[in-house]
Amino acid sequence: MLRQLLALLAFVSTAAYAQKNYIDYHREIIKAEELFLKNDFVGSLKKYKDIFTVYPQPFAKDCFTALQIACLRNDTANASYFFQKALNGESPGRL
């Protein structure tokens, strides 16, 4: 019984930690989107890349948004990077 309780406690604490990461992840995504809205495309792409470095499993929709910004700038290097990120199978929300 004690073993099951400890396992449950470990699972709940891990889930709570993961939830915090998603909250922080989305806060950072909002900052990247705000940079885009201010026409700072270079800053926005850099922010997306930084986020995807810290969070190795980004949401596919965020990868696709970054891909669109890279295409808007004719930035083929970043477009390729974000395309790979969106389709590599690590994303929780695959395209």
- List the CATH number of the domain containing 57: 1.25.40.10
Question: Whole domain around residue 18: which residue ranges?
Answer: 2-87
Output the tens digit of pLDDT for each of the chain's 95 residues: 666 655 555 555 555 555 557 899 999 999 999 999 999 999 999 999 999 999 888 999 999 999 999 999 999 999 999 999 988 855 455 44
Q: What is the pLDDT of residue 4?
A: 65
Domain count, the chain: 1
pLDDT for position 94: 47
Written as six digits, the tokens of 26 are: 């989305």
- Residue 18 domain flag: yes
* Residue 19 located in a structural domain: yes
Is 93 within the bounds of a domain? Answer: no
- How high is the pLDDT of residue 56? 83
* Residue 86 near residue 95, CB atoms below 8 Å: yes
91: left (phi over 0), alpha (psi -120 to 50) or beta: beta
Cβ neighbors of 28 (< 8 A, separation 6 or more) are: 47, 50, 51, 54
